[in-house]
Amino acid sequence: MSVDSQVDTQDADLQLIDALARGELRIAARLITRIESGDSSVASILSKLHARGGNTTVLGVTGPPGAGKSTLVDRLLQQFRHRGQRVAVLAVDPSSPFSGGAILGDRIRMNQHSADEGVFIRSMAARGRLGGLAVAAGDALQVLDAMGWDLIVVETVGVGQSEIDILRHAHTVVIVQTPASGDAVQSVKAGLLEVGDIFVVNKADTAGADRMQSNLREATAFRADPHDPACWLPPVLKTQATYGSGIDAVIEAIDAHTHHRLTHPARWAQRLRAQMRVLLLEQLIDLQRRRTVEDPAHQQRFERALDEVLARRCDPHTAARKLLDASE
């Protein structure tokens, strides 16, 4: 790359960052599209965004399909807007494993905010990215962060590991369950029990809500640290998001968690480090996967190695190591 073009890129990046800071929605939206499509030319801008980033509080909301996440987010948005906060939402949905297409329908539940300039909603399909999903979502969150929203909400279906990993970008994580989700320990992925800061039993008017609530309390009891009375013990709340009931308590819990985070900086630094560790590892694996598998130049080599393994001329361990060496 020539010196000139480097300067151009620098200028272009800075202009882009300025545009984001001015809240130019279309520019932000297009940048997210480039991130989604794996466009490697966004690397330099992402690097700059990272250097300046981490300013906006990110609220993660997750739960199984049909738990009422979008409705809950809609109700939370109502309250945030009422307080004058300007909010961006990143809604991540699964893609069809058959076609790679998707129906992204979260906006419907949030339609009452459709004409509100203080709300920005972006849908994102998982696109079968395995681990790369959390990376792409994290990059999209960086873009939103640069736009100066007062709050960012990331909503995701808590089914796979990659969805759970998205939550590692969040400062506060809300896990939504319903009485129909069944046994708490079975239905809440072990990972979620660890990352959740607030648990919500939605559709609390259906049978089994109290049982679900107490099950969740038991299941999260391990989070209490007898040596540290000031540690955060996740509250387990009941809501009926469709009717707006119980939402105030969720807002209070979110505020309390934020307060706890700000008043315990050492603990927060520790958590941030742990989160970033996972994400960096993730990034590493994703990069390696792309290098050794997805890059067309290496694809052939991968297939040949696969042949060798199938023919039992080489074992998988050795084959993997060879591929890794070859990709250096």
Partner 1 sequence: MSQSPMPQSKIRCLLGMLGTDVHSKGIRTLAQLLRDRGVEVIYLGEHNTARGMINATIAEDADLVGLSFSTATYLHYTRDLMEQMRAAGLGDVPVMLGGLIHADDEPALREMGVRGIFGPGSTMDQIVAFLQSATGKTLPSGISASGA
Partner 2 sequence: MSGDGQDDALRAAGIQAHLDDVSVKLSRTATWSGLETKASYGPEDVAETDYARDLGDPGEYPYTRGAYSQMYRSRMWTLRNIVGYGSPEDTREGIENALKMGTAGINVVIDTLSQEAIDPDHPILSADAGQEGCSLPMVSDLEILLRGIDVTKTDIAWHSTMMTYPLVAAMATRQGKDLSQLQGSHMPDHLQLRLGGWSEAIVPAGLGHRTTVDCIEYSAKHSPRWALGCPQAYDIRERGMTAAGEIAIGMAIINQTFGDLIARGMHVDQVAPSMAWVSTSDIDFFEEIAKFRALRRVWARTMKERFGSVDPRSQRLRLACHTSGRSLVYQQPLNNLSRAAVQTLAALLGGVQSVETCTYDEPICIPTEEARELATRTQQILANEIGAARTADPLGGSYYVESLTNQVEAEALAMLAKIEAIGLIKAIEDGTIESLMDDYNYRHHKELETQQRIVVGVNKYMPKTSTLPKRFRFDPTRMTAHIERFKQRKAGRDAQALAQRIDALYRIARRRENSHQAMIDALVADATIGEVWGTVRCANDLPYDPFKAIESPFTYTKP
Q: Considering only residues 63, 68, 138, 196, which one is a binding residue for partner 2 as defined by CB under 8 A? A: 68
User: Which of partner 2, partner 1, none does residue 320 bind (CB under 5 to 8 Å by kind)?
Assistant: none
Using the rule CB under 8 A, is 130 a contact of partner 1? yes
Report, in Å, the least distance between residue 289 CB and partner 1: 7
Sign of the Cα torsion 305, 307, 309, 312 reads negative
Map the footprint of partner 2 across residues 158-187, applying CB under 8 A: 180
Q: Specify whether the CB–CB gap between 168 and 104 falls below 8 A.
A: no
Using the rule CB under 8 A, is 206 a contact of partner 2? yes
Q: Which of 181, 251, 258 is nearest to 216 (CA)?
A: 181
The 270-309 contact track toward partner 1, x by CB under 8 A, reads -------------------xx--xx---------------
Using the rule CB under 8 A, is 214 a contact of partner 2? no
Give φ, ψ of 92 to 5 degrees.
-100, 125
Q: Which DSSP letter does residue 304 get?
A: H
Instruction: Identify which of residues 12 and 180 has a Cβ nearer to partner 2 in the complex.
Output: 180
Which listed range, 103-111, 168-176, 181-189, 271-279, lies at the site for partner 1 (CB under 8 A)? 103-111
Report, in Å, the least distance between residue 299 CB and partner 1: 10
Q: In sequence order, what DSSP letters do the residues of 212-267 get, joined into one string?
A: HHHHHHHHTGGG--TT-TTS----EEE-BGGGTBTHHHHHHHHHHHHHHHHH-HHH
Which listed range, 15-23, 93-101, 193-201, 242-250, lies at the site for partner 2 (CB under 8 A)? 242-250
Which listed range, 29-37, 104-112, 275-283, 301-309, lies at the site for partner 2 (CB under 8 A)? 104-112
SS3 312: coil
Q: In sequence order, what DSSP letters do the residues of 168-196 get, joined into one string?
A: GG-SEEEEEE-GGG-SHHHHS-HHHHHH-
Instruction: Identify which of residues 79 and 327 has a Cβ nearer to partner 2 in the complex.
Output: 79
Q: Considering only residues 62, 71, 76, 120, which one is a binding residue for partner 1 as defined by CB under 8 A? A: 120
Using the rule CB under 8 A, is 161 a contact of partner 1? no
Dihedral, 187, 188, 190, 192 alpha carbons, nearest 10 = 160
Report, in Å, the least distance between residue 202 CB and partner 2: 10
Instruction: Identify which of residues 27 and 251 has a Cβ nearer to partner 1 in the complex.
Output: 27
Which residue in the block uniquely carries the two structure tokens 């050492």?
266
Helices 132-145 and 265-289 pack at an angle, to 10 degrees, of 130
Q: Specify whether the CB–CB gap between 197 and 236 falls below 8 A.
A: no
Q: Which of 160, 179, 151 is nearest to 73 (CA)?
A: 151
Using the rule CB under 8 A, is 123 a contact of partner 2? no
Instruction: Identify which of residues 109 and 203 has a Cβ nearer to partner 1 in the complex.
Output: 109
What are the tokens at 76? 């939370």
107: left (phi over 0), alpha (psi -120 to 50) or beta: alpha
Give residues in contact with partner 2 (CB under 8 A).
Answer: 66, 68, 108-109, 111-112, 115, 180, 203, 206, 242-244
Give residues in contact with partner 1 (CB under 8 A).
Answer: 25-26, 29-30, 32-33, 36-38, 95-105, 107-108, 111, 114-115, 117, 120-123, 125, 127-130, 132, 136, 289-290, 293-294
